[in-house]
Amino acid sequence: MQTQDCQRLGPLQSGQMWKIEHGYLYIVELGNRVIHYKMLKQPDQQGAVTQMMRLEALVNYLRLSEAELVS
C-alpha cells in the first residue's frame, strides 16, 4: 500500500510543501516510519508547531485530501 500511494504522490522528501484544502502541510523531517510536519495557513508562515504522524497515515491523508505539491 505504501509503495503504490508514494508512487502516485511522488517521493516524499524533507522540505516539501503540499497544498491541502484548508492550508499547507510542510514536511520537516522524513524518517523510516514517522514524518515530522507542520500545518500552515499561509505558505510563508513562520510560527507553527512541529507534529508527528506515521508515514502510512500521512500518505493516506495527502491522497484523500487531493494534495498538490507546491515546492
Distance CA(22)–CA(13), nearest Å, equals 21
15 vs 5, residue with greater confidence:
15
The structural domains of the chain, ordered by start, are: 2-69 (2.30.30)
**pLDDT reading at 71 higher than 90:** no
Predicted confidence band of residue 10 (pLDDT cuts 50, 70, 90): confident
**pLDDT reading at 6 higher than 60:** no
Q: For residue range 12-60, what is the model confidence (pLDDT) as tens digits?
A: 999 999 999 999 999 999 999 999 999 999 998 988 999 999 999 999 9
Strand partners, 68: 19
pTM of the predicted protein model: 0.83
